Structure 1
Amino acid sequence: MGGLVLVLWGIRFFAFTLHESPKFLVGRGRDKEAVEVVHRVAEFNGTVSTLTVDDLRAFDYGGEKAATTPARRRWKVIKEKTRMFDGTHIKPLFETPTLARSTTMLIAIWGLIGLANTLYSSFVTYYLSTRGAVFGDGSVYVTYRNLVILSVIGLPGPLFSAYLIECRPLGRRRTLAISVALTGIFVLAATTARSSTVLLIWNCACGFTTNMTFSVLQTMTPELSPTRSRVTGIAMAAAVHRISGVMAPVIALYANLATAVPIYIAGAIFLVAAVMAILLPYESRGRASM
């Protein structure tokens, strides 16, 4: 992986010429450089640009023309960038009671799954070791072999969910509920493992259904968010997913790592998320996005 990154790094510097954004340059008062970049891009595309610095400065920068100083331009850029946080894009996600319930539940599902996933994956081996589980050879070979197995087993998950979400009896909600519920069941079943092989089997099952779950969620989230606020809805769900994952260690510590409680909590959270998936007010299968 590290070698591939270095190769791509070399390609970026030696095989491509990447110019700075003219918008960035203008925002910092570097008009001459911005015009040069426009000319180079035009030349690369087989055409000629007649843009000059005077032409660029003739435009109205929000009511501030050529006399605008670089500092004032930078302040204007900051104001434009922070304008997105005024709530304009959030309000449509909660415009009606049903839409508000849908958005809230969908974000909650993302959060619950992020919490349960982290809670299980971070503490299952520690819990099992306190119960006398023998994991045998912990060599680099076995570790990477198991990672490859988990990855390969998980690959068909998105393909299977892609088929199920278009089936009339199931659709998005039921497929999501089934995959999340199965993940919860496999998490609880993993507490019975007493060897590396058995734990690997349960983790493979979890990996398959988890991949199904995220495939369905990533399909539903854009579909259930109004078009003008779609990216905002996706971002809010992703943020809650990550934040809830950070909370997992706190829950595990307060629940006592010497007991099975953290794993049971993770399994129960998955089952709660499955019930919430069934209760989502919208089924987007066969319908245009909102």
Structure 2
Amino acid sequence: MSASYSLPVTDSLAHDRNFTSTTHSSVPTEEQRLIKLSSATDDKNILVDGRDQLETGSDPELLRMLQVSDDELVGDLTYEQLSLYEKKSVLINRELDKMNTFGSAGLGRYQWCIFLLCGFGYFLDLAWAQAFGLISGAIQQELGIADSKIGDIFVAFSAGLTVGAFFWGIAADVIGRKWCFNITCAISSVAGLLFAAPSNFGALCFLISVVGLGVGGNIPLDSAIVLEFLPTNRRFLLAVLSTFQPIGVVVSCGVAYGLVPKYSCDTSLPSCQGGETPCCTKSSNMGWRYFTITLGVITFLIFVARFVLFDFQESPKFLLSKGRDEEALRVLYNIAEFNKAPVPDLTLEDFHALDKAAGVQNIETHDNTQTGVKTILLKGLNNFSHLKGFFSSKRMIWLTVSLWIAYMSLFFSFSIAGGYLPLILRQKGIDTSTSISVTYRNYIIVYLPGTIATILAGVLMEIKWLGRKWAMALGAGLMGASLFLFSAVSSVAGFVGFNLMEYFFQSLYCALLYAFTPEAFPAPYRGTASGIASTLGRLASTVAPFAAGSIFNPRSNGVLYMAGGAAFVSMLSVATLPFETRGKHSF
């Protein structure tokens, strides 16, 4: 996507710009084209007008036009309380809102591309998570892995996810969204393709952890990226983005069903590791390898679509947070060109007027000539200065702690249910182990309705009397109730039915929570906030089986009540969030 629009720095009062209108000003006037300054560092031209407004101070009328109503801000926040970055961020929001009125269904072409490519990231998250559960039996049989060790597959993947969520969340706020967006997919595709090569369990676990490292950044990163390019009235698509997750599970099950049973050893054959014959050889057990190669190819094709076919533009809000106003504005103009929308009204003069009013000058001058260990260390530490945002106000501390509790309780809840429910049912005489075909059929029955749940989440979050907060509370409460109802299961059919119900409400709640989290935090530490929340959730899911194990009794439903109780804790946590984000500006 080439940048053909120049960045006009015009006198805003030279033409009437109503920011709440859906009409756009024309391309900069001939008078403004007469004076051009060529950048010394590249071939970009920046248009200025001849009156040099910035030398005489900011015009009060221009500043008034740049303001927004306090009603458009979250909670009891007022425009005067906004930081300089937040005031500029609002102007980006306005342009995106206007730009997308020229697109299809309220979105421009660029936004639809971003939505689909980030949706594929969500797709990979659960496609790979499901994959290792589907092939663990075939790997165990071929390599002769003990029952006590086969769980290392899931530990390795969980460790990769945890590190990935933490690392990529922070990296997105330090080096930017663009590189993280592409690197995460590249890592998981390479590791996925290599996974079929070794016949050593340790090497497989290592590659699984690397896949997790790449995939782990998808949820916190992709949700932030989609948000930062969406118009305000289409932010319900953040919840709909989660639709790609159950689709990932269904596709993973479908591919496995077509390959694993057909190209696997007879289940009665022992591993060749013990020297017995006949045994389960590599050549007769290629199904799980064909399966992971197929997923690796799918992941690689998604990487190609992201990196080669699509010209991803760095988030303008990330650029603003780093003081790179001109680059942020250029991205906005590039998107308008890609969307075939009129030239944005926003100009550098608008940003400079806000700078003047805030007493800030020359904010885009960066001194890179200083050297020395102390200087380098200080610059390195400055990359993490955004972490102070979590403690910038009582409201932000309240928000952060509430969401951390919500994530930990949610992950704790479904981790217990998934690990201990089959054990409880077996004690009741209900054997949930079935043939491979029936197992895959049941997976599809359970997970496919999750696509409806995530779409429903997008509807609920836009209902005025529900909004994000109470829709989340509703979803968490219904999830907790469904876990309590599991105690009444007395048949395999009941197990499948209640599993479907629990996953439906879990999908509903997760979609809402994943959508709200990036909305609630500003761009300077949005990726970090989402990444840490996801990391804490992963850690809670790791601890949960040990905590439940201390009270587990196969003749009791105690662990199910613990899981349901954790879901209710998550419900209470989101119900006490300090503000609602529906229809409000995100920074």
* TM-score, normalization by structure 1: 0.73
Of 167, 188, 194, 2:484 maps to 188
Maintained 8 Å contact 1:251/1:262: no
Maintained 8 Å contact 1:161/1:216: yes
CA displacement at 1:80 relative to structure 2: 8.7
Aligned counterpart, 1:2: 292
The answer as to 2:550 corresponding to 1:254 is yes
Provide runs of 4+ in structure 1 moved above 4 Å. Answer: 8-12, 59-62, 79-82
Aligned counterpart, 2:87: none
Aligned counterpart, 1:96: 393
Of 172, 186, 189, 2:468 maps to 172
For 1:98, the aligned partner's letter is R
Q: Secondary structure at the match of 2:456?
A: helix
How has the CA–CA distance of structure 1 residues 190 and 104 changed in structure 2, closer, same or farther, with 3 Å as cutoff? same
For 1:141, the aligned partner's letter is S
Aligned counterpart, 1:234: 530
Maintained 8 Å contact 1:103/1:224: no
CA displacement at 1:99 relative to structure 2: 1.6
Q: Secondary structure at the match of 1:156?
A: helix
How has the CA–CA distance of structure 1 residues 10 and 212 changed in structure 2, closer, same or farther, with 3 Å as cutoff? closer
Q: Secondary structure at the match of 2:494?
A: helix
The answer as to 2:566 corresponding to 1:269 is yes
For 1:127, the aligned partner's letter is I
For 1:165, the aligned partner's letter is M
For 2:434, the aligned partner's letter is G
Residues 150-191 of structure 1 deviation map (CA, whole Å, 9 limit, x = unaligned): 221111111000011001011001110011100111111011
Aligned length: 235
What root-mean-square deviation, in Å, do the aligned CA atoms of Structure 1 and Structure 2 show? Answer: 2.9
For 2:292, the aligned partner's letter is G
Gaps (5+ residues) in structure 1? 19-58, 65-71
Alignment of 1:99-110 (within 5 A): 99-110=396-407
How has the CA–CA distance of structure 1 residues 11 and 209 changed in structure 2, closer, same or farther, with 3 Å as cutoff? closer
Q: Secondary structure at the match of 1:169?
A: coil
How has the CA–CA distance of structure 1 residues 181 and 62 changed in structure 2, closer, same or farther, with 3 Å as cutoff? same
Distance 2:522 2:467 in 1: 20
Q: Secondary structure at the match of 1:89?
A: helix
Point out which structure has higher relative CO (alpha carbons under 8 A, 6+ apart): 1
Residues 92-144 of structure 1 deviation map (CA, whole Å, 9 limit, x = unaligned): 12211122111100111011001001011111110121123343x61111111
Q: Secondary structure at the match of 1:90?
A: helix
Of 418, 424, 440, 1:127 maps to 424
Aligned counterpart, 2:450: 154
Aligned counterpart, 2:519: 223
CA displacement at 1:193 relative to structure 2: 0.7
Gaps (5+ residues) in structure 2? 1-290, 309-366
How has the CA–CA distance of structure 1 residues 196 and 225 changed in structure 2, closer, same or farther, with 3 Å as cutoff? same
Of 269, 285, 288, 2:582 maps to 285
For 1:196, the aligned partner's letter is V
CA displacement at 1:262 relative to structure 2: 1.1
* TM-score, normalization by structure 2: 0.37
Aligned counterpart, 2:501: 205
Distance 1:100 1:126 in 2: 40
Percent of residue pairs bearing the same amino acid type: 21
Of 71, 77, 83, 2:381 maps to 83
Distance 1:228 1:110 in 2: 21
Maintained 8 Å contact 1:101/1:281: yes
Aligned counterpart, 2:414: 117
Aligned counterpart, 1:53: none
The answer as to 2:359 corresponding to 1:63 is no
